[in-house]
Structure 1
Amino acid sequence: MKLFKELESVVLTLKFDSITPDRKVILQPLIDFIQDKHNDQKEVRLNLICTHNSRRSHLSQVWAQTAAAYYGIKNVFCYSGGTEATALFPVVAETLKQSGFKIHIIDEGNNPVYAIKYGDNEHPVIGFSKTYDHEFNPSSAFAAILTCSQADEGCPFISGAEKRIPIPFDDPKAFDNTPQQTEKYQERSLQIATEMFYIFSQIK
């Protein structure tokens, strides 16, 4: 699968040896879930969840879908949601654009809808803020991936989820409106990219 050239050059810089052994233990349940579905030739549905569905869950959704395509893992469908809906934070879209994704705003407004493409002939990831149980998302046979500790605590039960897997990331929101904002969003995005690509690289 061909990624956009600029995006592929970013992917080639990702270093799996930067992932600590402790962190790999946290990632393993997701590898196992994907591998089991892949072995059974079943669709892999991942719903990546964070409190506001504005930053980490979108970064995780986009990088996971891209990683699945890059490694040729078929029938992977990545979604995202929150315990509440807000809007995809514009700096997230800008950060993805800097990594080589092509982004088109389909619908403006308080909660814009983005089409996020990673390759010329690939279906775009549709990004907008929604609750995890929104009708756009799957209602059953999916893994719920909790990308922040608040979502993990705030979702004691996620209806329809076959498996619940906490993979928390630090919130780049802490650096909003500071001189480090761009750098810290890029840093978090690349950490998520590295871990999602590691996960899909393990699928045999």
Structure 2
Amino acid sequence: MSSQQLDKYIEEVKSEFNQIPDDRRAVLKQLTAFVQTSIQDKGKADLILICTHNSRRSHLSQVWAQVAAFHFGINNVCTYSGGTEATAMYHMAAHALEKAGLEIKMLSEGKNPVYSIKYHHNEPAIIGFSKTYDDSFNVQSGFAAVMTCSHADANCPFIPTASKRISLPFEDPKDYDGTPQQEEKYDERCKDIAREMLFVFSNVKS
């Protein structure tokens, strides 16, 4: 893990908040409000970032939400990810995070590998693998369900154990798998998600 590289990446992303359109800001402020209220009322905030296969966007969103909370000193935030079905965390998502400065280690191989994702030497690693949003690994109630893809948003319209549901779809980098633009598009989506998650937590009052 390169802390200097990650710090530089974060500062660059923060300088791009002006790129976030007003309609996206309005949705992001819903997530800010949930975190703020949940911490005030319960002393913690739990988020599950959800996309259909829990393979790309939901993992990127989980990681950057956790990094953003830590960066802005917002304690007692726990982030999780899940899908409407389990597949595998795609290796290019892990690669994009590694290029941003996070330490990525594969803990197990196979059809659904498990990754350790480390963002600070004093903080526990995020454990990344594909699972359904209601998997026992995840928090089971009182969370905000953040839908990071339009397919999951449409096909999972109601999550009864969630306290809040927020639709925040990102473009799917999977569309570029196996093309010359693949790495560029994963890096681009990683940065888009980092920018918006950092914006969310920059507005939470600690």
TM-score bin (small chain): over 0.9
- Read off the aligned partner of 1:32 and give its amino acid letter: A
1:113 matched to which residue of 2?
114
User: Is 1:8 the equivalent of 2:15?
Assistant: no
Between 50-59 and 36-45, report the one with greater CA deviation: 36-45
Is the CA contact (8 Å cut-off) linking 1:52 and 1:86 kept in structure 2? yes
The separation in 1 between residues aligned to 2:99 and 2:47, in whole angstroms, is 25
Task: State the 4+ residue runs in structure 1 displaced beyond 3 angstroms.
Answer: none
Residues 9-55 of structure 1: CA distance to partner in whole angstroms, max 9, x if unpaired? 10010111111111101212111101111223521000000000000
Structure 1 gaps of 5+ residues are none
1:84 matched to which residue of 2?
85
The separation in 1 between residues aligned to 2:17 and 2:161, in whole angstroms, is 32
The separation in 1 between residues aligned to 2:160 and 2:128, in whole angstroms, is 22
CA root-mean-square deviation: 1.0
User: Is 1:156 the equivalent of 2:160?
Assistant: no
Aligned residues: 202
Between 19-28 and 62-71, report the one with greater CA deviation: 19-28
Residue correspondence of structure 1 range 1-204 to structure 2 within 5 A = 4-14=3-13, 15-204=16-205
- Structure 2 length as normaliser, TM-score? 0.96
Residues 54-93 of structure 1: CA distance to partner in whole angstroms, max 9, x if unpaired? 0000000000000000001000000000000000000111
Structure 2 gaps of 5+ residues are none
Identity of aligned residues (%): 53
- Read off the aligned partner of 1:6 and give its amino acid letter: Q
Deviation at 1:106, TM superposition (A): 1.1
Is the CA contact (8 Å cut-off) linking 1:37 and 1:43 kept in structure 2? yes
